[in-house]
A and B are shown apart, each in its own frame.
Chain A
C-alpha cells in the first residue's frame, strides 16, 4: 500500500495526539505520587523501612588519683547469624569468615537463631565483616558496650559491677552503684533505614537526639575510702 504523504500526516498526527494524551496521563499520575499523595506514601514507607533505636551514652570512666583509668567502657563487635542459611551456603560463609576471624566454626544444622558466630572483632575485621554482610544477608554485625575493669581482685571488689537494666548499663554494686547517676549520662536516639532483610542501609543513619555521655569520676588515693565516704 503506497503511503501517501498527506494521508500519513493525518494519521500520524492522530498518533502523536494520542501519545501526547498518554504522556499527560502519565504526568498526572507522577504528580499525584510525588506531590499530592506524597505525604501518605512517605508515612507508609517510613513505617516499613525506618527504625529508631537507642544510641547508648558512653558511661564515664572511674579514674585513680594518679590519673589511671580503673574502669571504662568499650564497644565490642560480634557477628551473629540472624536467619537460617542453607548447608552449602553456610560452608561458603565459613570459608570466608575464616579469612576474617580464624576459628573452628561449628555446623549450623541445629543452631538456634540468632546464633553468635564470633565476637571481639578489631576495627579491620569490622570493615571486612561489613563487606561480607553484603554478600550474606543472613549474618548481622552487632555491637554492644562492655564495662572493663583493671584486672586486680581487690580493685574489682571496690569498683563493683554493672548490669544491663532496661537496656541501660547500670551500676549494681561498689563505686559503680554509688556514682551511677554521674557515670550514666543520658542515652540518645537514632533512626536508620533497614533493607528488606533488616540490614542497615549505609548512609541512612541519622541522630535524632544526641546522647549525653556520663562524666568521669576522679577518685582520691584509695578506692576503699571513696566507697566508705
Chain B
C-alpha cells in the first residue's frame, strides 16, 4: 500500500469537514434571518463571499509556500498598515472603528491579518536561536499587532492573536514558566485597558448577573440562552428559528452558534464542536507527518487557529465567556472573516502541497 495514502485520507477528511461547516454556516445564516425576509439576501451574499474565498484558496495554492514564507515580513507590513490606518480612515460599526467602507462593501483588515500574523510568528519562532529570543520576538510581534486593535477597540481579535501566540511559543519553545510569565506581562496591562472601557465593564456585569438587568447589560447573554433553550436537543428546523430571527442580536455573525443550536439543537451544536476539534487533530496528523519542520509547525498552528477562534466564539455563545464581537470561522456571515479563514485554509494546503525542495534536492 502507498505510504502517503493515510495522509491523503486526512486531507480529504479535512476538506470534507471544511465544506460541511461552510454549508452548515450557510443554512444557519439563512435560518436565522429567513422570517425577517433577509435570509435569501444574506445567503446569496455569503455565497458570493464563498466564491471570493475559493479564488483566494486557489491563489494561495498556486503560490509556492516557500515564497509566501520568505515574504512573511513584507506581508505583515502590508497588513499592519491598513490595521493602523483604519483608526483614521475607517468607519465605526457597533462602537468599533475597524472597517473600511469600500463603496458599500465593508472590509475588516484584522480578519485578513490573522493568517499573515500566524505566518509571521511561525517564521519568527522558527528563526529564533533560543527560548529568550523566541519569547522576546513573539511578545514584541503580539504587542505591535495588538496596539491598533486596542485603539479600535477589538478585544475579541486580540484574544485570538494572544491565544495563537501562546500556542506557537509553546509548540516551538515548550517552556511553561516562560509562557506563564509572558501571559502575565501581557494580560495585566490588557486587562487594565479593557476594564477602563465602560462598555467592557458593562459586558462583564451583564455576563455575571444577566438577570439583574435583563433589558440592559444582561440582554445579549439572556437572548443567547433563550435561543439555545428554544432549540432544545433536536432543534426547531431550518427556517423555524423564531428566537434567532426576532430577538437574538447579530444572529447571523456574532451569535451564529446559538442561532445554529436553535435550528439544529444541542446535537447539531455538539457535532459542530467535534468538527472543529477534528480540524485541529487532522492538521496535527498532516503536519506531524511533514518532513519540513517549518511547514510542520505552520500546518498544525493553522488548524489550531481556526479551532481556537471557533471555540472563543462558541464559548461566548454558550455564555461561558462574556460577550465579545467575534465571528465563528466558516459558520458566521461576513466577507472579511470568511476570506481571512479561507486564505488560511489555502495557505495550509499550500504548505501541505508545495514539494519539499530540501528533500527533492537531497
Given contacts A5-B288, A19-B308, 15 further A-B contacts (CB under 8 A): A3-B296, A10-B174, A11-B170, A12-B171, A15-B171, A22-B315, A30-B261, A33-B229, A34-B231, A38-B229, A41-B228, A42-B229, A44-B226, A195-B247, A203-B35
Most buried by A among B126, B228, B232, B269: B228
Q: Knowing A8-B300, A38-B232 touch, does A3 contact B35 (C-beta < 8 A)?
A: no
- Which residues between 178 and 229 of chain A lie within 8 Å of chain B, taking CB atoms? 193-196, 201-204
When distances are taken between beta carbons in the complex, the residues of chain B under 8 Å from A33 are 225, 228-229, 318-319
- Within 8 Å CB of A203, what residues of B? 35, 240, 242
> A8 and B288: CB pair below 8 A?
yes
Residue B245 is within 8 A (CB to CB) of chain A in the complex: yes
Question: In the bound complex, how far is the Cα of B273 from the Cα of A1, in angstroms?
Answer: 32
Assess whether A27 is interfacial by the CB under 8 Å rule: yes
A111 at the interface (CB under 8 A from B): no
- Report A3 CB to chain B, min CB distance, Å: 4
What's the Cα separation between A33 and B276 when bound, in Å? 21
B242 and A27 contacting across the interface, CB-CB below 8 Å: no
Inter-subunit contact A45/B266 (CB<8 Å): no
Segment with Cβ contacts to A, from B58-66, B195-203, B277-285: B277-285
- Known interface pairs A23-B273, A195-B246; A3-B232 also in contact (CB < 8 Å): no
Main secondary structure of the interface of B (DSSP, over half): helix
Q: Taking the complex as formed, is B107 at the interface, i.e. its CB lies under 8 A from any CB of chain A?
A: no
Check if B230 sits within 8 Å of A29, measured CB to CB.
Answer: no
- B125: CB under 8 A from chain A? yes
Q: Given that A26-B314, A30-B266 are known contacts, is A41 also in contact with B171, CB under 8 Å in the complex? A: no
- Number of A interface residues at 8 Å Cβ cutoff, please give it: 44
> Which chain B residues lie closer than 8 Å to A19 at the CB level?
277, 280, 304, 307-308, 311
| B265 and A34 form a contact (CB under 8 A) | yes
7 contacts between A and B (CB under 8 A): A8-B171, A12-B288, A15-B304, A27-B270, A30-B266, A34-B269, A48-B214
A51 interfacial contact with B, CB 8 Å = no
Taking a contact as CB atoms under 8 Å apart, the answer to whether A12 and B300 are in contact is: yes
Any B CB within 8 A of the CB of A9: yes
Q: Find out whether the CB atom of A44 lies under 8 angstroms from the CB atom of B222.
A: yes
Distance of A4 from chain B, by nearest CB (Å): 8
Which residues of chain A come closer than 8 Å to B277, judged between CB atoms? Answer: 16, 19-20, 23
- In the assembled complex, A164 has its CB within 8 A of some CB on chain B: no
Query: Which residues on the B side are within 8 Å of A25 (C-beta)?
Result: 320
Which residue of the partner chain B has the closest CB to A203? B35
B245 touches A30 (CB 8 A): no
Q: Which 6 A-B pairs have the closest CB atoms?
A: A41-B229, A34-B266, A45-B226, A29-B318, A3-B293, A33-B228
Any chain B CB within 8 A of the CB of A37? yes
Distance in angstroms from A85 CB to nearest chain B CB is 20
For residue B128, CB closer than 8 A to chain A, the reply is yes
**Cα-based distance from A35 to B229 in the complex (angstroms):** 7
In the complex, chain A residues whose CB is within 8 Å of the CB of B250: none
Q: Which of A5, A22, A45, A134 contacts B311, CB < 8 Å?
A: A22
Q: Mark A19-63, 1 if CB is under 8 A from B, else 0.
A: 110110111011101110110011011001100000000000000
Q: Does A7 contact B (CB under 8 A)?
A: yes
Within 8 A of A (CB), among B5-44: 35-37
Determine which of A12, A22, A134 lies in contact with B37 in the assembled complex, contact meaning CB atoms within 8 Å.
Answer: A134
Q: How large is the interface on B (under 10, 10 to 19, 20 to 34, 35 or more residues)?
A: 35 or more
Expressed in whole angstroms, the minimum distance between the Cβ of B320 and any Cβ of chain A is: 5
Q: For residue A203, give the distance in angstroms from its CB to the closest CB of chain B.
A: 6
B232-A193 in contact (CB<8A): no
Contact assessment for A202 and B243 in the assembled complex, using a CB-CB cutoff below 8 Å: no
Residues of A within 8 A of B296 (CB): 3, 5, 8
Q: Which residues of A contact B226 (CB under 8 A)?
A: 41-42, 44-45, 48
Closest B residue to A43 by beta carbon equals B229
In the bound complex, how far is the Cα of B240 from the Cα of A23, in angstroms? 27
Contact B129 A1 (CB under 8 A): yes
Q: Judge if B173 is at the interface, Cβ distance under 8 Å.
A: yes
- B191 proximal to A (CB < 8 A): no
Tell me which residues across on chain B come within 8 A of A195, comparing CB atoms.
Answer: 246-247
Q: How far is the CA of A23 from the CA of B270 in the complex (A)?
A: 9
Q: Nearest Cβ in chain B — how far from A33, in angstroms?
A: 4
Closest chain A residue to B126, Cβ basis: A1
Q: Which residues of B contact A3 (CB under 8 A)?
A: 126, 171-172, 293-294, 296-297
| Complex Cα spacing A15 to B172, Å | 13
Assembly CA distance A64 to B188 (angstroms): 87
Which of A16, A26, A31, A196 touches B320 (beta carbons < 8 Å)?
A: A26
Q: Given that A30-B261, A193-B242 are known contacts, is A16 also in contact with B281, CB under 8 Å in the complex? A: yes
Q: Smallest distance from the beta carbon of B132 to chain A beta carbons, Å? A: 11
Task: Please tell me if B93 contacts chain A, counting CB pairs below 8 Å.
Answer: no
- Whole-angstrom distance from the CB of A26 to the nearest CB of chain B? 6
Using Cβ atoms and an 8 Å threshold, which residues of chain B touch A29?
A: 318-320
Q: Are A26 and B293 in contact (CB under 8 A)?
A: no
Would you call A202 and B35 a contact (CB within 8 A)? yes
| Distance (whole angstroms) from the CB of B290 to the closest CB of chain A | 9
CA distance A45 to B248 in the complex (A): 12
**Any chain B CB within 8 A of the CB of A2?**
yes
Q: Tell me whether A9 and B265 are in contact (CB under 8 A).
A: no
Are B172 and A30 in contact (CB-based, < 8 A)? no
> Contacts A1-B126, A16-B280; is A27 near B273 (CB within 8 Å)?
yes
